[in-house]
Structure 1
Amino acid sequence: MSCASKRHVRPESAFRFRAVSALLPPSPPSLPAVRIEYPPPDISPWIAGNCGIQGVHHFESRRPGPHVAVTALMHGNEYAGAYALQQLLMQPLRPLHGRLSLIFLNLAAYKTFNPARPTLSRFIEEDMNRLWQPELIASAHTSVEMQRVREVLPVLETVDILLDIHTMLWPAQPLFLCSMTENSRDLAYCVSGAQTNPPAVVQDGGHGDGLRLIDYTRFNTPHSYTRACLLEAGQHWQKDAAQQALLSTRIFLAQTGTLSSAPTSATSSEPVRQAVVTDCVQALTSRFVFVQPFASGSVIRKAGTVIAFDGQDEIRTPYNNCILVMPNLRPRRGHTAVRLAKRLNNKTGTQA
């Protein structure tokens, strides 16, 4: 279910109710610590690219195969993916089959990163990961980010298999996000399942305020060969997130047959946890507050449990064993505060 489907829904929604109980909205919870454990990687040797487009590196094999791509820096302050691409580019790259593209996306935002104010370099003018609607790209709308979308789009239009690397502001275990198509889910499942500690795989329909790159038409067509998934590698600026980004990238390239270098992780005996987002909770006021600082992946056992207040509204879980996906502990008005998800049966792919 798309976030858009719940965007303006009020008390009649599955999760939003006008407050009638004796519960009072709590004070905002203490926020988890946010630390910068490693500096932003120096990508200056690779900004020029090698194919006529800044930040884009392209490598060809003499043998036929898919065009595989890894993108990083969709948001300028999420540099774990840039670290992963930097590590790959420091060694000779020769795809075994097909083509490989490594792409640094929002170079302008990354250039502005300031450790003293690290959240402010997410973008220059608008969120680049909400701009992937073909109609919007073809329109007269313009911004720093839209100009960059149009610059890299000719490359992405030829990509068959894509990994887009991100990180999260609040502490959370890594996870893969994918669209509702089966082929994209299978891609995320395979890359996750090849790891000792497999990240969860979460399917969702995207955001109401614009399409992500993984939702772009080329990667979001049912029964198509093309597919994409998004890695949330962990918390921003944490060494573990950088290592997770590199590990997942190497496994992704090995799984697609692009590179032969063996990752250091071994296949896990643990099953990959799968879930599907049923609802997106949007902050309709500036007074949205959770009842406690939930972490991504928290499971609320009982339906009807109050998890947050949004002005005069209570936000309640719509079913038992509700999974909270990437709660934003300080959402701005109009932004997604949390996604609500149900566990999927690993064997059938249906709701458990």
Structure 2
Amino acid sequence: MSDNPPIEYDFPDIRRWEQGDAPYIHVKESGMPGPTVMLAALTHGNEVSGAIVVDELLGRGLAPRQGTLIFSFNNFEAYQRFDPNNPFKSRMIDEDFNRTWGRLDQPATTRETRRAQVVRPYVERADFLLDLHSMHDDCVPLMLCGPLDRGAELARRLGAPADIVRDRGHAAGMRMRDYGGFGDPQSDKTALLIETGQHWRASSVVVAKDVAHRFLTETGIVEASDLPADWKQPAPPSQRIVQVTHAIATKRGNFTPARRFEGQEVITKAGTVLGHDDGEPVTTPYDDCVLVMPAVNRPLRAGVTVVRLGRLI
């Protein structure tokens, strides 16, 4: 992949959605009892497939049949700085918005922590959350369902994508999808995070629309007839769940891969060398080890997770 992959679709102008219940957040009340459902885009400013979904649904005036529907463009400031000549830079401004959620009670010192404090009460209201993401590298779509059974069960009910990943989040900081009740085993709140594919592939928009359609109808907040009929795609023949067991981080950013790796690649033999970090070999801990979202094919910095390792369950 080149340093600047081609952008295969037009970006939406979201400035028309600035004025809402909070900047770039819109709450739609049905007046009827029901769940509160949140659809979030632009948690990272260069992950645009979800913004297309939220922009179009707002433009259509989608309203809930019951309960409450919340739309959010999270890191809109980073998105508005997007530069096609340096497209990966607009992932964030000061820090990763999606690693701030474990310290929102502390003073906000970055644009992302200030924005997360604005978004926070809406996340706390939500019974169901779908966080729409995409990936740096070409990879099959992944549904990150968190560590709890109810997340995996909801992902299975959606029926797509084919790959579901159970993990416990990032050592670098709590994600939005793990915040509050979403990460509480005693709660019924459920959040999913969809990785739709490479950021600017047209196929990532197709996946975002399909999963949003499935999510909104599954929660009962709308009916299928309220959504564009062509958004829903044929379901994969089956789904599989990968349980993440290890997250491999580079100590100083000098991890050297043994070769180019693909996402969801299954490494047959335990002890296979994946690369070297600070000169020390990094190997697979068991047979049939799945490589989840490897980041080993691009420049790294200290502390970054280069790959997660998982078992098929």
Query: Does the pair score TM above 0.5?
Result: yes
Q: Structure 2 CA distance, aligned partners of 1:310 and 1:85?
A: 40
Q: Please give the TM-score of this superposition, normalised by the length of structure 1.
A: 0.84
Q: Give the 5 Å matches for 1:224-243.
A: 224-243=187-206
Match of 1:321 among 266, 273, 288: 288
How many residues matched?
307
AA aligned opposite 2:176: L
Q: Secondary structure at the match of 1:284?
A: coil
* Offset of residue 156 of structure 1: 1.3
- 1:63 maps to which residue? 32
* Offset of residue 34 of structure 1: 2.3
- 1:220 maps to which residue? 183
| Distance verdict in 2 for CA 1:245–1:76, change over 3 Å | same
* Offset of residue 293 of structure 1: 1.6
8 Å Cα contact 2:261-2:294 kept in structure 1? yes
Higher relative contact order (CA 8 A, sep 6+): 1
AA aligned opposite 2:46: N
AA aligned opposite 1:128: F
- 1:116 maps to which residue? 85
Q: Structure 1 CA distance, aligned partners of 2:236 and 2:119?
A: 39
Q: Structure 2 CA distance, aligned partners of 1:105 and 1:286?
A: 28
- 1:250 maps to which residue? 213
* Offset of residue 73 of structure 1: 0.3
AA aligned opposite 2:309: L
Q: Structure 1 CA distance, aligned partners of 2:4 and 2:111?
A: 31
8 Å Cα contact 1:60-1:99 kept in structure 2? yes
* Offset of residue 199 of structure 1: 2.9
AA aligned opposite 2:214: I
| Distance verdict in 2 for CA 1:267–1:38, change over 3 Å | closer
Q: Secondary structure at the match of 1:84?
A: helix
Q: Percent identity?
A: 37
> Whose radius of gyration is greater, 1 or 2?
1
- 2:122 maps to which residue? 155
Match of 2:244 among 255, 259, 277: 277
Unaligned runs of 5+ residues in structure 1 are 1-29, 345-352
**1:259-310 Cα shifts (integer Å, max 9, x gaps):** 1125543664722111110000001133212122211100000000011111
Q: Secondary structure at the match of 2:117?
A: helix
- 2:276 maps to which residue? 309
Q: Give the 5 Å matches for 1:1-352.
A: 34-49=5-20, 51=21, 53-133=22-102, 136-191=103-158, 193=159, 195=160, 198-262=161-225, 263-264=229-230, 265=232, 268=235, 270-328=237-295, 329-330=297-298, 331-344=300-313
Q: Secondary structure at the match of 1:324?
A: strand
Q: Secondary structure at the match of 2:77?
A: helix
Q: Please give the TM-score of this superposition, normalised by the length of structure 2.
A: 0.94
8 Å Cα contact 2:41-2:133 kept in structure 1? yes
| Distance verdict in 2 for CA 1:130–1:269, change over 3 Å | closer
8 Å Cα contact 2:181-2:188 kept in structure 1? no
Q: Secondary structure at the match of 2:224?
A: coil
Q: Structure 1 CA distance, aligned partners of 2:122 and 2:286?
A: 43
Unaligned runs of 5+ residues in structure 2 are none
**1:34-76 Cα shifts (integer Å, max 9, x gaps):** 2211232211211222x2x011111111220010001010111
